[in-house]
Amino acid sequence: MALPLFAAGLVIGGLAVAAFNNRSKIADELQKGVKQAKKTVRKELGEAFKFAEKVKQELKPQKPKRAQARKRKTSVKEDNKNAS
C-alpha cells in the first residue's frame, strides 16, 4: 500500500525539480501566453463595445417629428401690456 504513494511522491518530486530547473523557460512561455491573451482581450473588448454601440443606436427610441411648430398662446396680461 505504501509503494504506490511512494512512487507518486517520487514522480511529483521529480516534476518539481524539473520545473525548478527550467523555470526561466516556463516563465518566458507564460509571459508570451499572457501577452497574447491581453492582445486577444483588447481586440474582443473593442469589438464588444462597437457591437454594444450599434445595438444601443438601434434600440434608441425615436421621437416622432411634428409637421408644424405650435404657436405659443399669450396670456391676457401680456396682451394688455402689449396694447399699452
Residue 37 pLDDT:
94
Q: How many domains does the chain have?
A: 1
Assigned domain for 52 exists: yes
Assigned domain for 26 exists: yes
- CB neighbours of 74 closer than 8 A, spacing ≥ 6? 82
Residue 77 pLDDT:
62
Question: Which residue matches cell numbers 492582445?
Answer: 39
Residues 58-72 have a mean pLDDT of 69
pTM beyond 0.85: the answer is no
Assigned domain for 75 exists: no
Question: Which DSSP string corresponds to 31-81?
Answer: HHHHHHHHHHHHHHHHHHHHHHHHHHHHHSPPPPPPSSPPPPPPPHHHHHH
Could you list the residue range(s) of the whole structural domain that residue 44 is in? 19-59
